[in-house]
Amino acid sequence: MANSILGSEILGQNLGPCNVYFAIETGGSNTYMGKTDSTVIRKTTEKTDLVTSQDGAGRADAVITTETWEVEFGLAQATLDKLAEIDESIDLNLSGPDIIGAHFASVIGNGDLENAHTMKIVRIRNGLDSTNPLDTLILWKARITSSFELTYDASTQRFLGTMAYCYKDEDQLDSLGRPTFGKVGTV
């Protein structure tokens, strides 16, 4: 059985950090998200019960009705320029290459897919990004949303919370011809 970013049968191999990259295949900036707190990859499947009178009140079958992939992490090194790359509501005011200010605009009505980019999550081994393809998860269409509460006191570390909602790509098909959310390893 192969070890991967999604799991291992070897005790201790399921521990450890990862690095997160955003906008990796769009010709964009390949943004390294920097130091983070824990990164949580969440896949959720919901089913709807199908019932028949012949089977009584219990489930006769069930059908998958929802599949979602999400990635949640807190940025420990959030900067205005990095935030502007992942959040279209931030409009930087530049003087040459220097940021001198920013607006935080309302972007109600903006669609996720029109602002989605590829996200790469790479497991760290021996202090570096692993070069094993099974240690890299690529999600084709991720849309990062920032949501945060920053506390300024003597003891609270500030992490800017983010959630990436991932969408399936109709052009990235598995071996059976089904649309996929992403991939791990060489496929």
- pLDDT above 70 for 27: no
pTM of the model: 0.84
Q: Residue 41 — pLDDT band, cuts 50, 70, 90?
A: very high
Helix, strand, coil distribution of the chain in percent, nearest 5? 10, 50, 45
163-185: b (≥16 Cβ within 10 Å) or e:
ebbbbbbeebeeeeeeeebbebe
Cα separation, 7 vs 160, whole angstroms: 27
Backbone angles phi, psi at 158, to 5 degrees: -95, 125
List pLDDT tens digits, range 44-98: 999 999 999 988 888 999 999 999 999 999 888 888 888 888 888 889 999 999 9
Cα separation, 98 vs 102, whole angstroms: 11
